[in-house]
């Protein structure tokens, strides 16, 4: 299966992809995802590992998706070098 591309700066894509609880307040990290609402509402730290595609109901691991921003791939925006 090819990787799914998510345009982080596109409202349509942000609307389509949700955390396991159905929130759209998630953010990617280098190895998983994090949801602000989950972090505040539940007794968990908000980290989750599989993003849900509302269009199909499928779940995608962090490695299964390719995150892009207006300025390029997500990993490039934040980089791996410490600043």
Give the span between the Cα atoms of 4 and 20, in whole angstroms.
Answer: 17
**What's the rounded Cα separation, in Å, for the pair 57 and 83?**
38
CA pair distance 34, 27, nearest whole angstrom: 5
Kindly tell me which residue out of 4, 14, 16, 23 binds Zn ion, with binding defined by CB under 5 A.
23
Binding residue for Zn ion, selected from 4, 21, 32, 50, defined by CB under 5 A: 21
Place of tokens 């410490």: 82
Contact between 50 and Zn ion (CB under 5 A)? no
Q: With contacts defined by CB under 5 A, name the span among 5-13, 14-22, 50-58, 72-80 that binds Zn ion.
A: 14-22
CB 82 to Zn ion: min, Å: 28
- Bridge pairing between strands 50-53 and 4-7: unpaired
Binding site residues, Zn ion, CB under 5 A: 19, 21, 23, 35, 37-38
């Amino acid at each position: 299966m090819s990787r799914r591309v998510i345009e982080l700066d596109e409202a349509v894509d942000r609307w389509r992809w949700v955390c396991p609880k159905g929130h759209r307040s998630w953010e990617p990290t280098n190895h998983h995802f994090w949801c602000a609402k989950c972090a505040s509402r539940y007794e968990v730290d908000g980290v989750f590992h599989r993003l849900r595609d509302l269009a199909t109901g499928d779940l995608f691991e962090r490695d299964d998706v390719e995150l892009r921003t207006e300025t390029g791939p997500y990993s490039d925006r934040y980089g791996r070098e410490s600043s």
